[in-house]
């Protein structure tokens, strides 16, 4: 095990010999790490925190701290992080709350850039990206392959749909549609399909065409959201992507950005 002599690792922490703990890191008693994790330097990992394998955490990040919630009373809540994540400098990720799910979850293959904050009870999907200074309040869900741009504040309980792209500096107070591009430069509207992102992820032209049609019905027609959904329901061969988009809208609690 590569533990720098200046690091403090509690004897009760579960740290495999394949892990590297750099200078001035602190690892608490209830931390469990998977194989081949790297804490580069000055990293604090505490609380009931479980890391998967091959995670890399950069300097001055604070992982598994108490939730920033005035109702928190020291309950034993958790943070669970998957595999192969890159967590850059000054990132903060807090545990869940008893009034929430009790756990904050980060999936696998996620890139979390510098100064990002992930609040209590958040769920971060696989392959998503949180760009520098993205700030997630409590109970936020970021679905798989979504990108949250730099300096974006996201209101509590909001969902960012799968494959969505949120432009830098955009304040998000309602759910962001899957597959969409949403930006403050467009008055915080879902202004188009994230076509380039979908192509990069191997979506076929047929899938993209079906999604493009659904977006025209949702965004470019004179129909309200309920009417647009009803029109889409009447169409045959919508495809699973459009079905997922419709389910996302129908299950929204805060409304969606259109």
Nearest to 119 by CA among 99, 108, 105, 98: 105
Give the relative orientation of helices 225-233 and 240-250 as an angle to the nearest 10 degrees: 150
Asked if 22 is an active-site residue, the reply is no
Alpha-carbon span 85 to 93, nearest angstrom: 13
Q: Which of 42, 58, 120, 163 is catalytic?
A: 120
H/E element, 105? strand 103-106
Asked if 121 is an active-site residue, the reply is yes
Q: Which of 54, 83, 121, 175 is catalytic?
A: 121
Asked if 125 is an active-site residue, the reply is no
Q: Is 191 helix (H, G, I), strand (E, B) or coil?
A: strand
Q: Which of 22, 34, 133, 138 is catalytic?
A: 138
* C-alpha R_g of the chain: 20
Residues that are catalytic:
120-121, 138
């Amino acid at each position: 095990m590569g533990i720098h002599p200046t690091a403090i690792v509690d004897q009760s922490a579960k740290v495999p010999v394949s892990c590297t703990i750099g200078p001035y890191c602190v690892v608490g008693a209830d931390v469990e790490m998977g194989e081949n994790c790297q804490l580069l330097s000055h990293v604090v990992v505490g609380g009931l925190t479980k890391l998967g394998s091959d995670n890399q955490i950069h300097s001055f990040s604070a992982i598994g701290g108490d939730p920033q919630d005035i109702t928190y009373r020291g309950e034993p809540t958790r943070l669970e992080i998957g595999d192969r994540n890159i967590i850059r400098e000054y990132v903060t990720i807090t545990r869940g709350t008893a009034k929430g799910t009790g756990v904050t979850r980060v999936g696998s293959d996620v890139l979390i850039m510098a100064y990002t904050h992930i609040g209590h009870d958040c769920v971060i999907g696989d392959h998503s990206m949180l760009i520098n200074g993205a700030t997630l309040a409590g109970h936020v869900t970021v679905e798989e392959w979504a990108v949250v741009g730099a300096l974006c504040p996201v209101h509590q309980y909001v969902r960012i749909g799968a494959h969505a792209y949120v432009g830098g500096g955009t304040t998000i107070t309602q759910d962001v549609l899957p597959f969409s591009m949403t930006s403050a430069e467009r008055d915080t509207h879902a202004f188009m399909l994230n076509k380039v992102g979908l192509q990069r992820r191997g979506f076929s032209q047929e899938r993209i065409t079906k999604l493009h049609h659904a977006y025209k019905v949702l965004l470019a027609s004179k129909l309200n959201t309920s009417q647009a959904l009803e029109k889409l329901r009447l169409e045959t061969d919508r495809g699973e992507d459009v079905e997922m988009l419709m389910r996302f809208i129908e299950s929204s609690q805060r409304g969606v950005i259109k």
